Amino acid sequence: MAAKKYEIDMCSGPILPKLLKLTLPLMLSSVLQLLFNAADIIVVGNFASDNSLAAVGSTSSLVNLVTNLFLGLSTGANVMTSRYMGAKDDVRVSKTVHTSIFLSIVSGAILTVIGVLFADKMLLLMKTPTEVLDLSTLYLRIYFCGMIAMMIYNFGSSILRSKGDTKRPLYYLTFAGIVNVGLNLIFVIFLKMDVAGVALATVISQCVSALLIIRCLMKETDAFRFSFKKLLPDRVITGKILGIGFPAGFQGVVFSLSNVVIQSSINSFGPIVMAGSAAAASIEGFVWVSMNAFSQGALTFTSQNIGAAKYSRINRIALISCSCAAAAGLILGNLAYLFGDVLLGIYDPRPEIIPPGLTRMSLVCVFYFTCGLMDCIVGSIRGMGYAVTPTIVSLLGACGLRILWIFTIFTIPEYHTEFMLFLSYPISWTITFAAHFICYLFMRRRFPKHDLPTGS
């Protein structure tokens, strides 16, 4: 019964208070995950060599590109667990839990092999400057050694989120975050390990959070209870998770691919702009996860209500989630830009990195609410069980537009500036949101307008 206090009834009663109860701990959890990377960047920016910040910061888009495909599978796990929980199908909930953890281990192992073997080759493809290449390669190889732990935590927290439990993952990340920051300071300041130290601290902290999430699942008393004896994938459920998860992951890859192309363009401006952009990107991340928590909420709430045949709540979930995400983006994004020079100075004391950082923030942070709207409507569509359509729209609207922009507008000499490069972000978000919204209207018409008895 102790675990019951962490659950949320998503299928009845007012939506907004319950959505906030789900998303606020999730938001804080995501912020803590970002602090892992932010701690790396702040420590190397202040206590390591001059090129260390550029080396660590330049790897983020590449890490996202490689990991997002597999992290998308956790979306499939969330949707299927939520759907079966809404339908009160305990047998399939249990099978989904064990299938998901199995997939997390396999995914992490694949990512570790890719990262360790091909880190230098991937960085060369991104035109990483010679002066930071060795440091970036070392950081990436160590970082990817923690992929199994990262996947286990993300899949495990996704499983708990499907029943409304976002508090315990927050507790575990809080502890792991403290471990990460402490080890950062020890490895870099006292042991002089530079980028290797921050990477190793991150890996250790990821292992801590993974162990805690597995321990939590093993102590559950309901269908969510995990046992290593049952760690075998169910063929049917694996297919359903992959059917939703791979398109979701591919969409993440699509966004990351466009960001890798943009990072390659940033690299062409040299280490100072790279450092300023890396610091700004880290700050932007805190705004994004605040908005994305409502996207995860929209996905989970929609999935459970579909499973419970509570169709009348679908539109209200989408409207409330989008409104909350847009408000978070407008408030936090503009506050971040307003105090941008102070925030950027925390990451790197060099005054020359602030102008390029502020240029990026003036276009990304200020207009970030459009990205929040886009993500939330996608969450609603995925919660309804549709995964391929939002992937195609994102492929054309986000990746396609940004790459087209870089290879057309950005190539014109007078437009080959940092401002014109970052302008591709708000333009692509706005157009892609409009396309996703039209898709949502069509998808919603395939479900009844009114509730049906459970099991109908």
Cα 65 from Cα 212, distance rounded (Å): 27
Contacts of 211 (CB under 8 A, 6+ apart): none
Cα gap 82→160, rounded to integer Å? 10
Residue range 220-247: mean pLDDT, rounded: 89
Count each helix (H run) and each strand (E run) in the chain, helices first: 18, 0
- pLDDT > 90 fraction of the chain, expressed in percent and rounded: 39
User: What's the confidence (pLDDT) of residue 348?
Assistant: 80
310 φ/ψ angles, rounded to the nearest 5 degrees: -95, 65
The terminus-to-terminus CA distance of the chain in angstroms comes to 30
Greatest Cα pair distance, the chain, in angstroms, is: 66
Three-class SS string for 94-153? HHHHHHHHHHHHHHHHHHHHHHHHHHHHHHHHCCCCHHHHHHHHHHHHHHHCCHHHHHHH
Amino acid at 226: F
**DSSP states along 386-413:** --HHHHHHHIIIIIIHHHHHHHTGGGSG
Select from 161, 66, 159 the least CA-distant residue to 108: 66
Report the range of poorest mean pLDDT among 16-20, 101-105, 129-133, 293-297: 129-133
In percent, the amount of the chain with pLDDT more than 70 equals: 95
| pLDDT at residue 426, as a whole number | 92
Name the CA dihedral angle for 115, 119, 123, 128, rounded to a multiple of 10 degrees. Answer: 120
Token pair belonging to 47: 């206590």
pLDDT at 295 over 80: yes
Instruction: Inform me whether the pLDDT recorded for 31 exceeds 90.
Output: no
Burial class (CB in 10 A: 0-12, 13-18, 19+), 297: buried
Q: Which residues have CB under 8 Å from 242's CB, separation 6+?
A: 73, 76
- Note the pLDDT tens digit of each residue in 394-419: 888 878 888 889 889 888 888 888 88
Q: Which one, of 245, 233, 221, lies nearest residue 90 by Cα? A: 221
For tokens 């009663």, the residue is 13
CA dist 117 and 119 (Å) reads 6
Would you say residue 4 has pLDDT above 70?
Answer: no
When pLDDT is averaged across residues 46-62 and rounded to a whole number, the result is 71
Query: pTM of the prediction?
Result: 0.78
Q: Name the pLDDT band for 97 (thresholds 50, 70, 90).
A: very high
What band does 366 get if pLDDT is binned at 50, 70 and 90? very high
The Cα–Cα gap between 307 and 88 comes to 8
- Mean of pLDDT over the chain: 87
